[in-house]
Amino acid sequence: MNIRNIAIIAHVDHGKTTLVDRILHTAKIFRDNQETGELLMDSNDLERERGITIFSKNAAVTYNGTKINVIDTPGHSDFGGEVERVLKMADGVILLVDAFEGPMPQTRFVLQKALQLNLKPIVVINKVDKPNCRPDEVHDAVFELFFNLDATEEQLNFPTFYGSGKQGWFNDTLEPREDILPLMDGILKYVPEPEVKEGALQMQITSLDYSSFLGRIAVGKVTRGSIRDNQPIALVQADGSIKRSRVKELYVFEGMGKRKVQEVLAGDLCAVVGLEDFNIGDTICDVETPEALPVIHVDEPTMSMTFSINTSPFFGKDGKFVTSRHLRDRLMKETEKNLALRVEDTDSADSFMVYGRGILHLGVLVETMRREGYELTVGQPQVLVKEIDGQKCEPYENLVVDVPEEFSGKVIDLVTQRKGEMLIMESKGDMQHLEFEIPSRGLIGLRSQMLTNTAGEAIMAHNFIDYKPWKGPIPGRNNGVLISKNQAPTTGYSIDKLQDRGSFFVDPGEDVYVGQIIAEHIKPGDLIVNATEGKKLTNMRASGSDAATNIAPKIQMSLEECMEYIQEDECIEVTPKSIRLRKVLLNEEDRKRAAKQAGNG
């Protein structure tokens, strides 16, 4: 049977998952009357809520007698670890580019990985139905990007398709039509069949699946030979050790699910059940002649955060898993499938150092754990500093901001305060397109300030470039915070009196504890306040006037915003029901003592 393995790569929000929907519908894997909904591949709750792909997934369709394995990948640079390893399963890539935005930083990152693996590219310029779109200019920009990334002659000669995933058509010209058949024909024509080498079985495990019924499932592409049900195999691990095992069940991908088979030949993707203790990157080989494939290399993490058990007075109220053993087991389990994540023990048995690709990467992990019933405290994200040739170096990122012209001055001002350097400034329609090189530290907390200063109009994206010399101190948050003086529910009466001191993160009637951060101060410096005092009722008549207080609604911050907001002496208490900001040391005397020691030290 003919096979094509294709990965879909693009910047976040350029339409990958919608394109996969169209491919699934075109191949008629659903009944005509079946309710399917949108964004079929984003099956995880978090992905649906945020509208982004976090985990790469596989689907398979049959078109004109050819089986097409489609791999949907995440577009966010924080999940680059997912993209790097699944590209190993593909023989070609569809590079999707927005007809208005053109190639973005993330497009460059994933395309570079694909070209290094020598994959055959097909360029699809999506969203040509948008007003102000500029498909011809974008096509030239994509060609320039290929050229800058040292693409070969053959890769530079890429076919281009235009269309709109939303309207459901793609064509090799700008002429709209009813379907995406030209693109499907293009996949069969331009993507090469898998290269099959002669010899005994070789298959690299590139991702993990889990079923409560079957346990851990190894997923990968058979690069040589064939794999059969009940076959004894050798598992070669990253350190070179060899384990013997046996295949219990074999599945291939079909539609959105899997189908059980007896044998899978080289070139196809498959899922193997029954292996013990395997990791991503291990090679499944023939028992007689075990030969390993090169180990998957994933870029290093650039950020770290301390995860520790919840030590607040409200400990154990919401969560099911609250001990350090629970926390450790869960983090270790995560490192098995999340390749870009590393976990290390610290001096304290209750806390762990977790290294990841960025705030979103770590934030998604915390959010997932919270939904599973874990309680934990997370500290301020720190960038990883390296010493290169005796010089202190830190990670730098390429930051791209598209913003209406009248706000461009404010954006430049904000970024330069944080040690960013402007590289490019050009007009794109009514928008100004700005590109900067900025230390990763400068990005922490930048998004919320940027949105405030541009009335929510700025679109920013960034991705890691390299380690460069340390840029010196970067100013943090300007304002201090208001800290609760006692433990009790807050009252509307007290909050009303304190409103001119700051903006609150809590509503009246919410339980707070000593050392909890309940508001942002309007000035620098922290202030300890009593927000739990009730009104003294002297006579019956005055008791009703309390309802007349006008209290501004509390500021709602997402988990990532909280992570960007906190300073070094603060942390976030995360439980299944709430996210609270607090000082690391809840007692004021302890904080003063620590500040004194730091001053003396």
Which letter does DSSP use for residue 129 in this model? T
Q: How far apart are CA 368 and CA 335, in angstroms?
A: 14
All residues at 6 or more sequence positions from 245 whose CB lies less than 8 Å from its CB, including other chains: 232, 233, 234, 235, 274, 275, 276
pLDDT band at 107, cuts 50/70/90?
confident
The answer to whether residue 241 scores a pLDDT higher than 50 is yes
Question: Which CATH number does 303-383 carry?
Answer: 3.30.70.870
User: Which residues are registered as beta bridge partners of 150?
Assistant: none
Residue 507 known to bind ligand = no
What are 460-509's pLDDT values in tens digits?
878 788 889 988 888 877 888 999 999 999 988 889 889 899 899 999 88
Q: Indicate the residue type of 501.
A: R
Do residues 121 and 155 lie in contact, with contact meaning Cβ atoms separated by under 8 Å? Answer: yes
pLDDT, averaged across the chain: 84
The DSSP element (H or E) to which 344 belongs, if any, is: strand 342-345
The DSSP element (H or E) to which 45 belongs, if any, is: helix 45-50
Kindly list the distances between the CA atom of residue 522 and the CA atoms of 256, 482, 508, 544, in Å, as whole numbers in the listed order.
53, 9, 20, 30
Q: Sheet holding 66-72: strands in order across?
A: 57-63, 66-72, 2-10, 92-98, 120-126, 160-164, 169-171
User: Which residues are registered as beta bridge partners of 584?
Assistant: none
Question: Which CATH number does 202-286 carry?
Answer: 2.40.30.10
Question: Which CATH superfamily includes the segment(s) 2-190?
Answer: P-loop containing nucleotide triphosphate hydrolases (3.40.50.300)
Residue 297 known to bind ligand = no
CA angle 535, 537, 538 (to 5 degrees): 140
Q: What is the pLDDT of residue 31?
A: 46
What percent of the chain is predicted at pLDDT more than 70?
Answer: 91
User: Which residues are registered as beta bridge partners of 376?
Assistant: 574
Instruction: Work out the average pLDDT over 128-149.
Output: 87
Residue 546 known to bind ligand = no
pLDDT band at 375, cuts 50/70/90?
very high
Residue 18 known to bind ligand = yes
| Prediction pTM value | 0.78
Backbone φ and ψ for 569, nearest 5 degrees, come out as -90, 15
Strand stretches in 159-248, DSSP E: 160-164, 169-171, 202-211, 215-224, 226-228, 232-236, 242-246
CA angle 275, 252, 50 (to 5 degrees): 90
Same fold, 303-383 and 386-469: yes
Q: What is the pLDDT of residue 511?
A: 92
* Structural tokens at position 225: 């030979």
Domain boundaries, the chain: 2-190, 202-286, 303-383, 386-469
3-state secondary structure of 451: helix
Of residues 419 and 108, which shows the higher confidence score? 419
Residue 538 known to bind ligand = no
Q: What is the DSSP string of 381-419?
A: -EEPPEEETTEEEEEEEEEEEEEEGGGHHHHHHHHHHTT
β pairing state of 502-504 and 431-439: unpaired
| Listed residue (204, 212, 336) closest to 279, CA to CA | 336
What are 318-354's pLDDT values in tens digits?
888 889 899 999 998 888 777 778 899 989 889 999 9
Residue 286 known to bind ligand = no
Hey, what CATH class is 386-469 in?
alpha beta
Q: How far apart are CA 376 and CA 378, in angstroms?
A: 7
Residue 599 known to bind ligand = no
Q: What is the pLDDT of residue 542?
A: 53
Residue 66 known to bind ligand = no
Residue 16 known to bind ligand = yes
Q: What is the pLDDT of residue 505?
A: 92
Kindly list the distances between the CA atom of residue 318 and the CA atoms of 314, 402, 579, in Å, as whole numbers in the listed order.
9, 41, 11
Residue 410 known to bind ligand = no
